Amino acid sequence: MRQQNADNSRHPVAAGAEPGTELMTASTKNTALHWASVHEFGFVAGMKLLFWLYKKIGRWPFRLILYPVLFWYLLFRPSARHASQIYLRHVNRRQAIRTDLVKVIAHFAAFAEMMLDKMLLWSGSVDPASICTAGTELIEQLIAEKRGAVFICSHLGNADFSRILSGNHRSQITILAHTKHARMFNQLLSAMNPLSQLNVVQVTEMTPDTAMMLATKVADGEFIMIAGDRIPVAPEPRVVMAEFLGEPAPFPVGPYVLASVLQCPLYMLFSAKIADRVVVQVELLRESVRLPRNNRDEQLVRLVADYARHLESHCLQSPLQWFNFYDYWQLPAFDPASADGRGNK
């Protein structure tokens, strides 16, 4: 298995690699927008207003007012509108779904509801008992055995609800994230509740000091959470192309390398809203991750392919709740400004 730089084609496999079997390094030559360059200003301004209205008039009136705000946002954000349609068209490859502007607005309405739920969660307006959970016996077993683990989260639904598990099961969760592109919204959450930013570690590059800190936490029985559906903010991040909703897409290798280095189990966390009720699910991906030198790349490909299949299954169950508003199937260009949150306004 070889590594290669991606060209400017729709995806690297078009240049001759077999889908789902290629470990590669994303090239800086690509012109696609990097997710960290997608900024929030207009949407956050609208959400602050809508949150105020929600507190005054309730959820259903909030929903009625929401749609004009979304129409205005999408009118002036064609890149976001286009990204949603790309995703919906991929979903349509697996199951019938509309891909027109009406469905795009519904997609963003689900995103706005998720943002509202974040604000409600951190403002203390959500009863943890109202959240349904599945697979939490896996967490209970880890705690009973005093074992740490790595959990792969995603941008399906509201990952913040997964942090409820920390309080419910008396466990400590450290979140590895790059959130500088969403600085304004994080400041809004922090103003509501400083705990919203607790144990969130900004990671653009995995340094030896960071690795030692994480190893100590896992040895103490704590949990590490890292996203499995966004590539790193780096000039040439290592990715695996895996089949996702009918086309190979780039996935990061970081979660699997991290679990291998920390010698701990690897789990998946999925959160979605089903019939107006939040459901958080815990699933085991691997009891242990081994990446021997002689077939390291092959093992990474298998791991990523397994994760991509799980993510696809959950996306098809809740198709309007996956919130990656950029062309996920194309390797993006790296904008140095995105690493410090300046990016595209």
Tens of pLDDT along the chain (345 residues)? 333 344 434 443 333 344 444 555 554 445 454 433 444 445 566 667 777 778 888 878 777 877 887 888 788 888 889 999 999 999 999 999 999 999 999 999 998 888 888 878 877 787 777 788 899 899 889 989 999 999 999 999 988 887 666 655 556 888 887 655 455 555 555 555 555 555 777 776 667 788 888 999 999 999 999 999 988 766 677 899 999 999 999 999 999 999 999 999 999 999 998 877 889 999 999 999 999 999 999 999 999 999 999 999 999 999 999 999 889 998 866 454 444 444 444
The beta strands (E) that lie in 154-244 are given as 173-177, 200-202, 223-227, 238-244
- Residue 178 within any structural domain of the chain: yes
Q: Does 298 fall in a domain?
A: yes
Q: What is the pLDDT of residue 19?
A: 45
Distance in angstroms (rounded) separating the CA atoms of residues 30 and 10: 10
Torsion of CA 300, 34, 282, 259, to 10 degrees: 40
The DSSP bridge pattern shows strands 238-244 and 22-25 to be antiparallel
3-state secondary structure of 159: helix
**What is the predicted pLDDT for the residue at 201?**
77
Tokens of 271: 């959160």
List residues bridging with 241 in a β-sheet.
22, 250
Parent domain of 258: 12-339
Determine which helix (DSSP H) or strand (DSSP E) holds 282, and give its type and residue range: strand 277-286
Q: For the chain, how many structural domains are there in total?
A: 1
Task: Classify residue 2: in a domain, yes or no.
Answer: no
Report how far Cα 59 is from the mean position of its chain's Cα atoms.
Answer: 26
pTM comes to: 0.81
Within a domain: 168:
yes
Residue 317 lies in a domain: yes
* 206 inside domain: yes
Q: How far apart are CA 17 and CA 6, in angstroms?
A: 10
Residue 291 included in any domain: yes
What pLDDT does 41 receive? 45
pLDDT at 211: 84
| Structure tokens given for 340 | 């410090």
Strand partners, 34: none
Q: Does residue 72 lie in a domain region?
A: yes
Rounded distance, CA 20 to CA 249, Å? 8
Closest alpha carbon to 118 in 162, 82, 74: 162
